[in-house]
Amino acid sequence: MKNHVLRPLWLAIAVVAMVLIARVFLVPEDFGVHGESFTYNYYRLSNVQEWKDFPAKYQGRERCARCHDEQSENNAASKHASIQCENCHGPGAGHPKKVKQLAIDGSRELCLRCHQSLPYPSSQRAALPAIDGATHMKKKECRKCHDPHMPDLEDA
Amino acid sequence: MRCSRRDFLKQSAAGVMAAAMPAATFAFLTPAEAKAAVGSPKVRWAFLVDTEKCTGCGLCVQACKTENEIPWDAPVSRTWVERYVVTKDGQTHIDSPNAGRDGFISSEIRGEEIDPEDIEKAFFVPKLCNQCDNPPCVQVCPVGATYKTDDGVVLVDRKWCIGCGYCIMACPYGVRFFHPVVKTAEKCNFCYHRITAGKQAACVQACPFEARRMGDLRDPDDPVTKIITTERVQVLKDEYGTKPHVFYLGLDEKVR
């Protein structure tokens, strides 16, 4: 074969070889097929652990109850029993050591998420006690009259 | 009776093998036990959404955004809640303001006020990643940055993702988006860090109405698995053949 054919061929082979050599150094050892299929299970295995180590923010009401037993008991006896503490009090990660006080959401908008009246008879929303936020005591925070841990005015 | 040396050796070898066989060899396995024994002993996560119970409070979206560090005001979310209002003239009005992050506290839909008299039915539908068995988003990834773990959850390798966006276009459910801070593809991963540590996913924990639940399909005694296997559940866009693993109870035909 003539030189002008061979020269680019050698060059192409050299480029491929360099890519293959670079690959050995750049691709981590745990990168490969981990599972049954190349299509769905071709990945870097250590990434699974990286996701497992992602920090959790929400701790759950059981942890809150360890110290705040009185509030937890009150809430558990009320109609708000199914609501997690952290839905209103904010995520409890780092509390109480790093975060002394959690930022409580006492806004009207939070209560209205469930208690704003919407004309949807076929939805579960209609089964909840509801008001029209635009007319019902519109300047006041709900918690000024209703205790969120004991929401019935009659029981308070 | 004559017994050659060959026969004697053959028969004693068979006798030794029969004696060595444990009683468990003859045990009868139920299909579930057999499957658990042959297949991976790991779990297969599945999600169950009861649309009948959802009230559109959006506490799940609030919890998800906080838990998974998705910027609060960016117009993206790993999970969202859709509102469907079907009017008597046959029209369907759908919206999901801020992904339902702040709940639905106004009856206005896309700037339009609908007369309560005209409403035929109205309901809320939570959506999230379906963790498909045949995830199209994984097929299209050119660098192997997204994959299915052996417990069925599709994850994104943030170090490996080049942000090309193929997966975002490939997902038929519109679940994937570009993370504005990390600058990689992003999606719901069933709160992988929580479920693998024995906790509930943030949205499941935050839901006051048990509209969102999770279970292990490989555990036949799991209450969620029992519902999925014995009750009338539906999945989204079954015709795409993606084998989604988010199952819906009470799904309306208007939901796409």
Q: Look at residue A150 and tell me if it is in a domain.
A: no
Distances A20 to A25, A27, A30, A59, A105 between C-alpha atoms, Å: 9, 10, 17, 47, 56
CB B142 within 8 A of CB B166: yes
pLDDT tens-digit readout, B113-154: 999 999 999 999 999 999 999 999 999 999 999 999 999 999
pLDDT of residue A155 exceeding 80, the answer is no
Hey, how many other C-beta atoms are within 10 angstroms of the C-beta on B100? Answer: 28
Backbone angles phi, psi at B177, to 5 degrees: -150, 175
Pair A132, A76 in one domain: yes
The mean pLDDT of chain A is 92
pLDDT tens-digit readout, A121-139: 889 999 999 999 999 998 8
pLDDT tens-digit readout, A47-92: 999 999 999 999 999 999 999 999 999 999 999 999 999 999 999 9
Pair A20, A85 in one domain: no
CB contact under 8 A, B206 and A34: no
CB contact under 8 A, B192 and A113: no
CB contact under 8 A, B124 and A123: yes
Pair A37, A65 in one domain: no
Residue B146 near chain A (CB below 8 Å): yes
Q: In terms of CA atoms, which chain A residue is nearest residue B131? A: A40
| Structural domains present in chain B | 136-186 (3.30.70.20)
Q: Look at residue A155 and tell me if it is in a domain.
A: no
CB contact under 8 A, A128 and B52: no
Rounded Cα gap, residues B213 and A152, in angstroms: 28
Pair A74, A91 in one domain: yes
Mean pLDDT confidence for B207-224: 95
Pair A45, A100 in one domain: no
Could you tell me the two tokens for B94?
């759908």
Residue B58 near chain A (CB below 8 Å): yes
Pair A42, A74 in one domain: no
Per the structure, the count of domains in chain A is 2
Q: List chain B residues with CB under 8 Å of A122.
A: 121-123
Report the length, in residues, of chain B. Answer: 256
ipTM of the modeled complex: 0.88
- Enclosing domain of residue A14: 3-52
